[in-house]
Amino acid sequence: MTKRNLLTTIGMLAVVSAFAQKEYPSRAPMTPAMSEYWTPQPPIVTPGKAPAEAIGAPSDAIILFDGKDLSQWENSKGQAAGWTVHDGVFTVKKGTGDIRTKQKFNDFQLHLEWCIPEGIEGTNQARGNSGVFLQGIYEIQILDNYENETYVNGQAGSIYKQTPPLVNAMNKPGVWNTFDIIYTAPTFKKDGTYRTPPRVTVLQNGVLLQNNTTILGTTPYVGFPEVVQHGDGPIALQDHGDPSAPISFRNIWIREL
Amino acid sequence: MTKRNLLTTIGMLAVVSAFAQKEYPSRAPMTPAMSEYWTPQPPIVTPGKAPAEAIGAPSDAIILFDGKDLSQWENSKGQAAGWTVHDGVFTVKKGTGDIRTKQKFNDFQLHLEWCIPEGIEGTNQARGNSGVFLQGIYEIQILDNYENETYVNGQAGSIYKQTPPLVNAMNKPGVWNTFDIIYTAPTFKKDGTYRTPPRVTVLQNGVLLQNNTTILGTTPYVGFPEVVQHGDGPIALQDHGDPSAPISFRNIWIREL
Amino acid sequence: MTKRNLLTTIGMLAVVSAFAQKEYPSRAPMTPAMSEYWTPQPPIVTPGKAPAEAIGAPSDAIILFDGKDLSQWENSKGQAAGWTVHDGVFTVKKGTGDIRTKQKFNDFQLHLEWCIPEGIEGTNQARGNSGVFLQGIYEIQILDNYENETYVNGQAGSIYKQTPPLVNAMNKPGVWNTFDIIYTAPTFKKDGTYRTPPRVTVLQNGVLLQNNTTILGTTPYVGFPEVVQHGDGPIALQDHGDPSAPISFRNIWIREL
Amino acid sequence: MTKRNLLTTIGMLAVVSAFAQKEYPSRAPMTPAMSEYWTPQPPIVTPGKAPAEAIGAPSDAIILFDGKDLSQWENSKGQAAGWTVHDGVFTVKKGTGDIRTKQKFNDFQLHLEWCIPEGIEGTNQARGNSGVFLQGIYEIQILDNYENETYVNGQAGSIYKQTPPLVNAMNKPGVWNTFDIIYTAPTFKKDGTYRTPPRVTVLQNGVLLQNNTTILGTTPYVGFPEVVQHGDGPIALQDHGDPSAPISFRNIWIREL
């Protein structure tokens, strides 16, 4: 069975066995800072100036947001997505929760664009924090780390709390960033562990951040990655709910591979 | 030792052993058509309309062509590259031979753009044929296969005579195509065979053609891929020398990984 | 659909598309010698002396031959296997055809033992030729290449006509050889090509011959490997049908992974 | 630079950058239990009965212990190894510290045999605890987990504190266990992180425990795996120093790949 409530899971579940018949010790509880590391900071790369006009979607893409409405999206209860559509973009509406696509996917190529508002305040992770969850489970971090240092496995384009990006290729607040993500879904053995792990390639603003990187498991805020069996899943976007200003998205499309 | 004259090698060398002390049979000679296959034809995808203005190079890129001159390039004898620079692009000059970068590379991210001239004639492989050689050895095919069928492992974005592209994402003649190539160089065992094979990801016009595909060896016109030991190598571009009109290149940059 | 008649396929089928709607050229026909190469010959390693007594099967193994009968096996028509059981072993009976397990497998660890009869005659491939087919499709070569040179991708422990063994670790005729094979089955994309290719590790007499080597496709006598979609498959053993003396097998077990 | 004192490193170093120029937060300290998990317990497999006589070493193997002396070994200070040779085996001598081969290796196939003494006492990790360190860095756990439960990523054949074995294939105390280990060393990028990670296959008593498993980094008792740049390294064996009875080793050989 797939586990659909993963987005709300916090903390350290051990790998789950359907066959566990007796009590075993749990892992000792951890704190968030235990899975954060700060060095080496990825080199800073200034991306090439993006053209004014966005690149259009290929003919075989599923358009997930075309500037008009959130009809392809829902909240985590399966209700209408409550984020705000305006000016051809949509913006996180704090407190309405994460949103996800109604459609589920296996392997895919995903394009999305996101913008940190000019004049944003806050530092470290409290600055434009969001994320895109692949198959609803594995978070690629979204954050403003333009002249804002944070732990490296929490930078934009990191596999959150796992693998930092190769470089820091941020545009500054007010300028749109692009993510191009190539994702290969995992396959599973009968015991629920990975037979082949998920893998991901990420480019931000055309610059390589992840090169077919192995994803080790879930991307929890606290503790180790977990391996949890699942099938196809949605693309989800995070309402991080912190006091830094909301971020916006546009031009989202996906191609099934 | 690296083998620098590979670009001119034609035909079937067996894997070379420095230790071969006696005579063994050679592989039987082959014809080109033996390593060409035609089905299944990759699905045709119309790329999104490219913006008028090109995406600029990131700050850590080495600019291989900036529209002005071929100072970063040479011919296969190490002399000045004889191709024609005009209007911010350069064009294959038939009979002057392949050109290659003076600098050599290991792992890299490469961006280049190429254009098949409008009004091009010819069919199958005799239509805008060129190629980009990774480390001077492994050819990613360049060809006009817009409404022009050919063997699938000879289409644009194929690892030539090995692996076809996932889709056919050509722009029509007169429109520029982009290649974004992420390349991981091989490592070798003491006996000269691959310890880890080369791998490549290719996007054409933003659409995925190769996803960390294993390169099996050289990409000869005739016969099987060969494994030949080598070190860093240049980016090379092919003067195919056939009667179809010459193709043009622009906006070439590379980032060492 | 899986293709069950692969064992009898000879020659060059292109990758099969269910959607092919028009006629495309076929690959030009090849000869067997075109896919055979002879250098570098793998180093010769004398295996350690095997203990007189065989290692027993682990408790979770399926015993495919315990010295008594061929009840786990059938011929390629699904009839009783016609090979000869005697003295706790079984021996190829020329002209009765290949045999295969009734049970089908996905990922597995396989142990088998085989013996070339003392006094065998013939040279090159005509000397104790047989093979074990993984999932009924991918042949790991069995041959007497003890002081018998042949093309390297046709030696014992080669992925036939693809990848030679790392070394030649043959016992001489009359002495039993062991194969320990760890096999990871492929997964497929919707278009029938590999999503993840098959992989195999082989030890002969405790010496490593293949180390998680990628299998490129089928292992035909003539032509290139083909990619053909399939599901679980049997372990099959080859009746090569040539004039060299028949070989024997014993102590065969398999563990599903 | 390689780091040679890793065996004595305890605790959580972040990935080390030679270029770190300012102070960054450290990871919060952890306790050992945070990186231990107990479920699912690997299935128990009874290995086949081993032959009385050991399999001999292949002709190209380097004999690391032939039953006579520890001339191939030294302690961590480069002095004579202080463990006890007797009856064709050698036994951990508590308090003399780890021992390691004088020779260093890159990729290899390693065979070793180890025996937990009959009548051993203690439970969990305090029962025949030792380990074999690949390149002196990555620990494959040695422990008596025959009818002795412990955290799964600390069982015999686990990559210590990382990846549990596929099954529990222990012989009981007093019976020799074999390890056959196939190891592929990592390669590194310029920044000291893995370009290709280390990988390992392990068989215990002929049963597969690890199948080309990726090693994520060092295997510390406390905290996350670390990535530390290194070159060739020795095979090292652990003097765990706990009150459970000392374990013995015999028949150790290695083949360079």
pLDDT digits (tens, 9 = 90+) for D103-115: 999 999 999 999 9
Q: Give the position of tokens 């022009």.
A: B148
Q: Could you say which DSSP state residue A27 is in?
A: P
Mean pLDDT, rounded, of chain B: 90
Q: With pLDDT > 90 as the criterion, what percentage of chain A qualifies? A: 81
Once rounded to an integer, what is the mean pLDDT over residues B200-214?
Answer: 97
Of C52, C57, C184, the CB nearest to D48: C57
Is D87 part of any domain? Answer: yes
pLDDT of residue B5 exceeding 80, the answer is no
Among C219-228, D21-30, D130-139, D146-155, the range scoring the smallest mean pLDDT is D21-30
A27 → chain D, closest CA residue: D34
Q: Which residues on B lie below 8 Å from D107 (Cβ)? A: 189, 195
List the chains bordering chain B where 3 or more Cβ pairs fall under 8 Å.
A, C, D
Report the alpha-carbon angle C217-C219-C220, nearest 5: 120
Q: How is residue D153 annotated by DSSP? A: G
| A196 at C interface, C-beta within 8 A | yes
- For residue B72, tell me if it sits in a domain: yes
Bridge partners, residue C194, by sequence: C188
pLDDT at residue C50 is higher than 80: no
Per-residue pLDDT reduced to its tens digit, C193-222: 999 999 999 999 999 999 999 999 999 999
Q: Using CB atoms, which residue from B55, B169, B182 is nearest to A51?
A: B55
Q: How confident is the model at residue B27 (pLDDT cuts 50, 70, 90)?
A: confident
Residue D39 phi, psi (nearest 5): -135, 155
Tell me the whole-structure pTM to 2 decimals.
Answer: 0.91
ipTM over 0.85: yes
Q: What is the CATH number of the domain that holds D126?
A: 2.60.120.560
Interchain contact, C107 vs A195, CB within 8 Å: yes
Instruction: Report pLDDT for A4.
Output: 30
- Indicate if the pLDDT at residue A10 is higher than 50: no
Asked if residue D72 is part of any domain, the answer here is yes
On whether residue A190 sits in a domain, the answer given is: yes
Contact (CB, 8 A) for B35 and B27: no
pLDDT at residue C4, as a whole number: 30
D51 compared with D249, residue with greater pLDDT: D249
Q: What is the pLDDT of residues A45-87, one digit of tens each?
A: 999 987 777 778 999 999 999 999 999 999 999 999 999 999 9
Residue type, C180: D
- Of A23-27, A200-204, D72-76, D119-123, which range is least confident? A23-27
Q: Distance, in angstroms, between C95 CA and closest chain A CA?
A: 40
Q: Is residue C239 assigned to a domain?
A: yes
Provide the 8-state DSSP code for C198.
-
* Interchain proximity D51–C48, CB inside 8 Å: no
Query: Does the residue D124 lie in any domain?
Result: yes
CA dist., res. A59 & res. B206, Å (int): 12
- Report for A187-196, B49-58, B74-83: range of highest mean pLDDT: B74-83
Structure tokens at C3: 């293709």
Residue B33 to residue B223: CA distance in whole angstroms: 9
Q: Give the pLDDT confidence score for residue C112 in this predicted structure.
A: 96
**Domain assignment present for A133:** yes
What is the count of structural domains for chain D?
1
Q: What is the DSSP string of B88-136?
A: TEEE--TTS--EEESS-BSSEEEEEEEEPPTT----TTSSS-EEEEETT
Domain extent, residue A118, equals: 46-256
Q: How confident is the model at residue D51 (pLDDT cuts 50, 70, 90)?
A: confident
Q: Cα-flanking dihedrals φ and ψ of residue A199, to 5°? A: -140, 150
What pLDDT, on a 0 to 100 scale, did the predictor assign at position D21?
58
- What integer pLDDT is reported at residue B9 of this predicted model? 32
Bigger pLDDT: A170 vs D190: A170
Contacts of C77 (CB under 8 A, 6+ apart): none
Contact C201 D182 (CB under 8 A): yes
In this prediction, residue C54 carries a pLDDT of 72
**A48 has a chain B CB within 8 A of its CB:** yes
Report the alpha-carbon distance of residue B44 to residue B147 in Å, rounded: 9
Q: Answer whether B182 sits within 8 Å of A208, measured CB to CB.
A: yes
Collect all residues of chain A within an 8 Å Cβ-Cβ radius of residue B179.
Answer: none
Query: Cβ neighbours of residue A193 under 8 Å, at least 6 residues apart?
Result: A15, A227
pLDDT band at B11 (very low <50, low <70, confident <90, very high): very low
* Beta-carbon contacts of residue C8 (< 8 Å; ≥ 6 apart): C76
User: If you average pLDDT over residues B121-145, what whole number do you get?
Assistant: 96
pLDDT tier at B73 (50, 70, 90 boundaries)?
Answer: very high
Question: What is the spatial distance between Cα C29 and Cα C223, in angstroms, rounded to a whole number?
Answer: 8
| Residue among B49, B56, B109 minimizing CB distance to A48 | B56
Residue C15 has pLDDT above 90, yes or no: no
B224, C151: Cβ pair inside 8 Å?
Answer: no
Q: Does pLDDT of B3 surpass 60?
A: no
User: Has residue B75 been placed in a domain?
Assistant: yes
User: Residue C27 — pLDDT band, cuts 50, 70, 90?
Assistant: confident
SS3 content of chain B, % helix, strand, coil (to 5): 5, 30, 65
Q: What is the pLDDT of residue D159?
A: 98
pLDDT tens string C81-128 = 999 999 999 999 988 999 999 999 999 999 999 999 999 999 999 999
pLDDT of residue C56: 87
Find all residues with CB under 8 Å of C35, minimum gap 6, and list them. B27, B224, C153, C161, C222, C223, C224
User: pLDDT class for D255, splitting at 50, 70, 90?
Assistant: very high
Contacts of C94 (CB under 8 A, 6+ apart): C239, C241, C246
Chain C residues close to D110, C-beta within 8 Å: none
How many Cβ contacts (< 8 angstroms) between chains C and D? 94
In sequence order, what are the residues at sequence separation of 6 or more whose Cβ sits closer than 8 angstroms to the Cβ of residue B84?
Answer: B90, B91, B93
